[in-house]
Amino acid sequence: MVLTGQHLIAANIIASSHGTFRAVNPTTGEPLECEFHEGGGEEVAIAADLAERDFDTFRQSSDIKRGELLETIAAQLVELKDPIIQRAHLETGLPLPRLEGELNRTVNQLKMFSQFVQHGHYKSTRIDPALPDREPLPKPDLRLSQIPLGPVAVFGASNFPLAFSVAGGDTASALAVGCPVIVKGHPAHPGTSELTGVAIQRAVQKSGLPGGIFSVIQGSGHEVGTALVKHPQIKAVAFTGSQAGGRSLFDLAAARPDPIPVFAEMGSVNPIFILPQILKENSQLLAHKYSESLTTGVGQFCTNPGLLFAVKGDDLSAFIAAVKEYLSQMNPLPMLHVGIKQNFNTKLEQLTSVRGVSRLVGSETPTTLDCYALPALLFLTADDFLQEPRIADEVFGPSSVVVQCESKEQMLVLAENLQGQLSATVHASIGEDDFCRQLFAILEKKAGRLILNDFPTGVEVCPSMHHGGPYPATTDSHFSSVGTTAIHRFLRPVCYQNFSKELLPRELQKNQD
C-alpha cells in the first residue's frame, strides 16, 4: 500500500503547506520513504468542526451499530496487517513477532470494547420511581443514564505504535460510546499511523457512519497537539506518553476558558520490594527475572522496574552479582528513536551524578547519536535515596536502581516516600505474610496495580486490569485506558426528572407504563 504522507480528515486525504517531515529507521539512522505533511491549527479546526457536525448522529447510533464499527475496524486491521507491521518495524525497530503480537492485542481490544458496549449495561443506569404520596413532599421519578462527552483528542506513545496509538484503547473506547476521535499522529511512526488510520477510515465508510467521527493529523512538533487541546469543540483528551508531555497538555486544558478532562497515562518506576527470606531462597532466579523484565523491549515500557529495594547482606550481594553478569553480557540494542536514546543518556547522567549513586553496569555515554543503548544498573543506600527524590524519576529505557535498605522495617519508610505508580511489586516467602500485609497496606495508596511474586512488565488486557495509578502515573487515578472501565472516561451522567416514557432514553424506559 502506498503512503500519501497526508492527513486523514473525516473521509478525506488532505494535504497542508506547513512543511514536511520524515520518519527515521532507528536501526540504520536512515530517513524512510515518504514526506509527511506537518499539520497545524487549520487542519485541527477542519477536523474538529467535522467531528462536532457528526457528533449527534454518532451518539444517537445504537450500541450494536458502534459495536459493529469496532469489529469492522478490527477486520480492516487484519486485512492491512502485513503493510502495517512492516512499516511499524521500519519506523520503530521493534521485532516483527513483537509487532504481530501487538497487532493481535489491538484487534482483541477492539473486539473487547465491541462486546462490552453491545451488551448494553455500561451506562450504569439507576431508577428511583416516583413516590407521589410521600410526606411531607412527594418524590418525583428520577432516572440516571450517561451520555458521551463529545469529540476526543487522542495522543499515542512511541513505544506501542499499535496498541497505544491510532487504533489503540483510547480510540476504541471513545468510539465505543459515540465520541468522535481526532488522533495526533506520533512523529516517530507516521507511516504506521497513516496505515492504521486508513483501516479505521475504511471501517467508518463500510459501517455507513458519518466520516467526521475519525481523523488523524500528522505533525512533528507540539503545534497540532496544542491546537487540538485548545480547540473549543474538543471535550476530552486521552494521552499516553511522557510525564512532561502529559502534564503540559493537562495544564493547557485546565487553562482553557472551559477546562476539559485530560486522561494522561504517563511513566512510572514500578518499584519492586524483595523481602529477606525469599531473597535468601531464590536470589539467582529473582536476579534473572528482574534482569529480563528491565531489558525486555530495550526497557521501553511504562511498566519497566526502575527501582528495586532489598535488605543489605550476602543475599543482596549475590543477587546484584547475578544481575551484573546478565546485563554485562547484553549487546547494544536500538531504542525507538534518537530523542529517546538521548533522553536516556541525559537522565542516566543526572542520576549517576547524585550523591551516593554508583553505576554498577553501563558504559560511558556513547558519543555517537545513534539509537543503540546498553542496559544500566545503579546502586545507592536507602539513606541516600531518602535525601534525593530525583532517584525515583522515570528513566525511560533499560535501566534500574537498586536501593540497599538497612532493615525490612526501613522498606516501610521508603514505600511511604514513593510517589504515584502504575504498579508496585512485592516478592515474599509464605512466612513473610505479616510483613507483606503491612507493606501492601502502604503500596495500595501509591499504585494502581499490586503484584505479588511476579514482575510488572506484561499488562494483560481484560476487564479486571487497571493500568493507572495516582499522579504522576496518571492525571486521573480513577481510570485506565486498558480494560473496559476505559469507556467511563468519555461519558457523563445525566438525570431525567419526571419524564414520560416516550421522552426517556431507551435504556431508562423500563417500569414506566
DSSP assignment of 282-328:
HHHHHHHHHHHHHHGGGG--TT---EEEEE-SHHHHHHHHHHHHHHH
- Selected from 396, 435, 440, 490, the binder of ligand NAP by CB under 6 A is 396
Length of the chain: 513
Tell me which of 43, 223, 265, 394 is the catalytic residue.
Answer: 265
Please tell me the distance from the alpha carbon of residue 493 to that of residue 65, in angstroms, as a whole number: 22
Contact at 8 Å (CB) between 448 and 418? Answer: no
Tell me which of 179, 302, 371, 436 is the catalytic residue.
Answer: 302
Please tell me the distance from the alpha carbon of residue 52 to that of residue 178, in angstroms, as a whole number: 12
Decide if residue 302 touches ligand NAP (CB under 6 A): yes
- Selected from 93, 212, 267, 306, the binder of ligand NAP by CB under 6 A is 267
Decide if residue 467 touches ligand NAP (CB under 6 A): yes
Q: Measured from the CB atom, is 66 or 186 closer to ligand NAP? A: 186
Q: Shortest distance, CB of residue 188 to ligand NAP, whole angstroms?
A: 7
Q: Shortest distance, CB of residue 36 to ligand NAP, whole angstroms?
A: 11
- Alpha-carbon 276 to chain mean position: 33
What is the identity of the amino acid at 488?
Answer: H
Decide if residue 489 touches ligand NAP (CB under 6 A): no
Which 336-365 positions form the footprint of ligand NAP (CB under 6 A)?
340
Please tell me the distance from the alpha carbon of residue 24 to that of residue 30, in angstroms, as a whole number: 6
Q: Shortest distance, CB of residue 44 to ligand NAP, whole angstroms?
A: 12
Q: Measured from the CB atom, is 89 or 189 closer to ligand NAP? A: 189
Contact at 8 Å (CB) between 307 and 272? Answer: yes
Contact at 8 Å (CB) between 217 and 39? Answer: yes
Decide if residue 81 touches ligand NAP (CB under 6 A): no
Q: Active-site residue 302, yes or no?
A: yes
Work out the burial of residue 6: count CB atoms within 10 Å of its CB; fewer than 13 is exposed, 13-18 middle, 19 or more buried. Answer: buried
Decide if residue 221 touches ligand NAP (CB under 6 A): yes
Looking at 6-14, 153-161, 195-203, 361-369, which segment touches ligand NAP (CB under 6 A)?
153-161
- Selected from 114, 146, 242, 345, the binder of ligand NAP by CB under 6 A is 242
Q: Which long-range contacts (CB under 8 A, 24 or more apart) does 136-141 make?
A: 140/497, 140/498, 141/497, 141/498, 141/499, 141/512
Neighbours of 429 (CB within 10 A): 16
- Selected from 145, 207, 220, 233, the binder of ligand NAP by CB under 6 A is 220
- Per-residue mark of binding to ligand NAP, 186-215 (x: CB under 6 A): xx----------------------------
Q: Shortest distance, CB of residue 220 to ligand NAP, whole angstroms?
A: 6
Provide the annotated active-site residues: 265, 302
- Provide the binding-site residues for ligand NAP, judged by CB under 6 A: 155, 157-160, 164, 184, 186-187, 219-222, 225-226, 240-242, 245, 248-249, 265-267, 302, 340, 394, 396, 422, 467
